[in-house]
Structure 1
Amino acid sequence: MASSNKHVVFDVLIRPGLLGTLVDYEAFYEAIEARLGDQLRAQHIGARLFGYAWMEAGEKEYTYLSMSGHHVAFSDVLRALFYRTLWQAGLADPRRFATDDDRDFLLAAYRALRVRPGVAACFRTLHDAGYTVWALTSGDVARVADSIGVGKPAPAVYEHVLKKFPTEDLDAWFAAGHMWDASAARRSGFNGAWVSLWEKESCSDIFGDMDVVADSLPELADGIVAFKK
């Protein structure tokens, strides 16, 4: 009999029900363009690049806080870094350039990201092959059923999830759009699957190899199902 101990874990954003690997960030960039695009261009700052810098700064500070033993929800980190990111972009007085209302408008857009094409097909393929799909979050504690008080990519996070599955005939995957995430999970005992929709370049020379690499979510599911150790 085929094993039913088959699992695929996806990362989750701060909004309930939205999976980080499964969302498109375009709505966030569109909101920045609509709200501050003309003002940013007048200062020779690209709206998309500002959005990327803001998110990346959030990832870094969230991780450093967690590593230091001070776990703060990612949404709160992102809110706090808005004016700092504007200053790093070259604005001498960010609080005259933008307002708290601007910041909150953009944060609301971040929480309303759209699901990527192919999500339904991805889940259907995994389900039909006997996989159970799970979610791992770095979101607000109030929105999470199970919290261990530390954020990814600490090995304890991935190990905590892996230990929830029976060990016999285990086929466990971690799927992500960030190579740092998928590679950390792989080093912690998962099979690793990475989809290039967000980062494009795998940078495998620093992150290492993946068991499955795909350019779309349906291809990711097909790769997991077809994978043989």
Structure 2
Amino acid sequence: MASTKPKNIVFDIVGTLISYDKIFQALETRLGPKLLAENIKPSLLGYTWLEATEREYTYLSLSGRYVPFKKVFEMLFWRMLWMAGIQEPREFATKEDLEFVMDEYMKLEMRPGARECVKKLRGAGFTVWAFTAGDLNRVGGYFKHAGIEMPEEHLLSCDTTGVGKPCPEAYMPLVKKLKEKGGEPWFAAAHMWDVSAARTTGFKGAYCTVWEKEPLQELFGDMEVIANTLPEMAEKVIAQAAL
């Protein structure tokens, strides 16, 4: 007999349901030949830029000086060129180059299987929530562009509380709210640091390897669900919720 308890699943959005590919493509389009001439692969620059932003965003939050992710990302561009070996970053790339990349950042697209993943979960009776470090207008726009309905009341941002993931305090109000509804809420992400942190606050964890490939459980611990694709992750969550 299927469980009648409420079923809720919270998704990280950018990097999980949303791909970073447009950022990498923008760097390739705007600066590709110049970067390659310096032996800098555009996709690797894009990755290190994102990862450095995650760190600085988190450190600012931990020190009580929260700054929205997009602002941190934009401001770190010149530093990343320096770290990549460019001696004069502001001569190598222009303000217009950065504006082009940031414009494309506003147009990120859903990963393959994202729509199917959400549809499967909703079809199985799950209420789908979104919890992002991004701003609500931008992330809400990603869903609208993809044709995926996401009620405003189910779209949440760290910007609202001024506490960034993976601080436990970022997840706690949401997990408490969902547990009060009944059932065991899930948190789903393609960032192992994110879902493993959510899991320590009381969420069940679902991890997809689509972004990082290696789960590294020896670093981050156990996980209720690990899958290689978003639809497979949805199927495994549904199966466990039915037990």
- The reply to whether residue 197 of structure 1 matches residue 210 of structure 2 is yes
The answer as to whether partners of 1:175 and 1:192 remain within 8 angstroms in 2 is: yes
- CA drift of 1:25 comes to 1.8
Question: What SS class does the counterpart of residue 177 from structure 2 fall into?
Answer: coil
Which moves more between the two structures, 109-118 or 82-91?
109-118
Residues 1-229 of structure 1: pairs in structure 2 closer than 5 A? 2-13=3-14, 20-140=15-135, 147-167=160-180, 169-227=182-240
Q: State TM-score, norm by structure 2.
A: 0.86
Unaligned runs of 5+ in 2: 139-154
**Conservation of the 8 A alpha-carbon contact between 1:4 and 1:131:** no
2:146 corresponds to: none
TM-score by length of 1: 0.91
Summarize the Cα distance change of 1:151–1:198 in structure 2 as closer, same or farther, 3 Å threshold: same
Q: Distance in 2 between matches of 1:95 and 1:37?
A: 16
Equivalent pair of 2:187/2:205 in contact (CA under 8 Å): yes
Instruction: Single out whichever of 143-152 and 171-180 deviates more from structure 2.
Output: 143-152
What whole-Å deviation, never above 9, does each CA across 1:4-25 have from its counterpart, x for those lacking one? Answer: 4110001134xxxxxx411122
- Structure 1 residues 169 and 32 mapped into 2: Cα distance closer, same or farther (>3 Å)? same
Cα separation, 1, equivalents of 2:156 and 2:239: 32
The structure whose residues are more often helix, as a share, is 2
Identity, in percent, stands at: 47
Shift of 1:168: 6.2
Q: What is the root-mean-square deviation of aligned Cα atoms in Å? A: 1.8
- The answer to which of 4-13 and 219-228 deviates more is 4-13
Any conservation in 2 of the 1:28–1:51 contact (CA below 8 Å)?
A: yes
Secondary structure class of the residue paired with 1:24: coil
Alpha-carbon offset, residue 75 of structure 1: 0.5
CA spacing shift, 1:171–1:3, aligned 2, 3 Å: farther
Distance 1:44 1:188, change over 3 A: same
SS at match of 1:219: helix
Contact kept? 1:125, 1:222, Cα under 8 Å: yes
In 2: Cα distance, 1:50 partner to 1:77 partner: 16
Separation in structure 2 between the aligned mates of residue 184 and residue 64 of structure 1, nearest angstrom: 16
Measure how far apart 1:185 and its partner are.
0.4
CA deviations 1:9-47 (Å, max 9, x no partner) are 01134xxxxxx4111222211111110010001111111
CA contact (8 A) 2:19 2:108 kept: yes
Q: How many angstroms apart in 2 are the aligned matches of 1:113 and 1:161?
A: 26
The alpha-carbon deviation at position 184 of structure 1 amounts to: 0.1
Give the aligned length: 223
Per-residue displacement from partner, 1:105-140 (whole Å, max 9, x unpaired)? Answer: 111112211111212221121112111000112123
What CA distance in whole angstroms lies between the structure 1 residues aligned with 2:237 and 2:3?
A: 16
Larger deviation, residues 102-111 vs 171-180: 102-111
In the alignment, which residue of structure 2 is the partner of 1:17? none
2:132–2:156 Cα contact (<8 Å) kept: no
Cα distance in 2 between the residues matched to 1:2 and 1:227: 11
3-state SS of paired residue (1:79): helix
